[in-house]
Amino acid sequence: MPINIPESQKERIVIVGAGFGGFILARRLCRSQYQIVLLDRNNYHQFQPLFYQVAMAGLEPSSISFPLRKAFQSNKNIHIRVAELLEVNQEDKQIITDCGYVNYDHLVIATGATTNFFGNENLRKHAFPLKSISESLHLRNHIFQDLENALLTRDYDDRQGFIDVIIVGGGPTGVELAGALAEMKKYILPKDYPELDQEEVDIYLMQSGDRLLPGMSEVAGQKAKVFLEEIGVNVQLNTRVMDYDGSYVYTKDGAKIRTDKVVWAAGIKCPKFKGLQDELYARGNRLITHDDCRVKNTVDIYAIGDAASITSEAYPYGHPQVAQTAIQMAKHLAKQFKTGKQKSFKYKDLGSMATIGRNRAVADLGKRRLTGFFAWVMWLFVHLFAIVGVKNKVFVFLNWIWNYFTYDQSLRLIIKPYKKEE
């Protein structure tokens, strides 16, 4: 059954995914000569770099999400549908979703990436991913529920399971989450949970490589490790997690560590779709894409952001899977659609940064390496201005100011799903 979308004499561009790439592309084309159909499994755009702050009760979910219909409510040329892509029918120029099918003249796949557990079923079952607002809230609930449970148990080993946290993956997500957890341990636990011994709380950051932040400079990785250790994080390099049964983590060197919470930030992969042959996919299930963003061996199918793998001498494995890549690809493809001229995409590296708690951050800006307070201020403003919506910017800014001066937040709520009584 077709999804109900008004017919039009205009060519139809179907954009799948409302992350950075899909959202920006839809904004650039919503007043163009095309009919735009924007599909996403959620009815909102979410600001992924701040998921960890939702998980740590630093921000409300609504502060980093923006309703799609509100974003485009003045544009009659765009049609938003909450649906999930299942299959691409290239012959009929049609996509199949969980809600029906949609015809397209041009298809743009901007579905982003999901957590990669590298085939380990136990990790997929028991570890906590952090790739959506719902996963952030799920982690937040477990962190605070386990602190409540820790107050109820006298057994030391069980209590360690409740209060200790292991983060796997030393990229920006793992580093920023570890820093936020360490600050919670230092500033929040003594006030909210004075009956718990703060010294019993252990925060581990495990990285299989020999340094943190492998996508950034050596200086940034070394300084991030120093910052984390200064605030009490147990950083373990060259440590590969092999298994997790829900109670114990097992590492390659034979260590066995008790914890009920493992946050998996060690890898990402893109979803694969029926109808797109295996030879179209590169490492991490990224679609092999020409430099004009068109998917290899296809007609009128494009990929942008995390889903696209455009290789070059400078980027033999594709561009970094970060927000700036998606945004720049979206702007490039929008210009192509508007002008009808195919051009090669050129990525401009605007730098990388990561924050490690209050007054601590690292930033690579070209050949410049910044660390400490100045890098932290830069991180705040870069992320603040990237958030969609003036109200969201104001709320996030006020939350950050309040947290900075009071060392506190008021968002530590355990919000459980509703269960109807039998």
- The whole-angstrom separation of Cα 108 and Cα 302 is 5
pTM of the model: 0.93
Closest CA to 224 of 24, 361, 404, 369: 361
Q: Which two tokens stand for residue 135?
A: 């996963």
Residues whose CB falls within 8 Å of the CB of residue 352, separated by 6 or more in sequence, listed in order: 172, 213, 215, 216, 220, 320, 322, 363, 364
**Dihedral pair phi/psi, residue 222, rounded to 5°:** -65, -40
pLDDT of residue 422: 63
pLDDT of residue 5: 93
What confidence tens digit (pLDDT) does each residue in 256-315 have?
999 999 999 999 999 999 999 999 999 999 999 999 999 999 999 999 999 999 999 889
Longest CA–CA separation in the chain, Å: 70
**In Å, how far are 18, 230, 246, 308 from 224, measured between CA atoms?**
32, 10, 29, 29
Determine which helix (DSSP H) or strand (DSSP E) holds 337, and give its type and residue range: helix 323-339
3-class SS shares of the chain: helix, strand, coil, % to 5: 35, 25, 40
pLDDT of residue 182: 95
Which residues share a beta bridge with 375? none
Q: Is 45 helix (H, G, I), strand (E, B) or coil?
A: strand
Closest CA to 242 of 225, 226, 261, 256: 256
User: Structural domains in the chain?
Assistant: 12-113+270-339 (3.50.50.60), 121-266 (3.50.50.100)
∠ CA(116), CA(120), CA(126), 5° rounding?
A: 90
Cα 278 to chain centroid distance, Å, stands at 25
Cα 64 to chain centroid distance, Å, stands at 12
The dihedral sign for the CA sequence 305, 111, 388, 49: negative
- The whole-angstrom separation of Cα 102 and Cα 329 is 24
Cα 146 to chain centroid distance, Å, stands at 24
> What are the residue ranges in the chain where pLDDT is below 70?
410, 420-422
Closest CA to 145 of 418, 417, 413, 420: 413
pLDDT of residue 367: 86
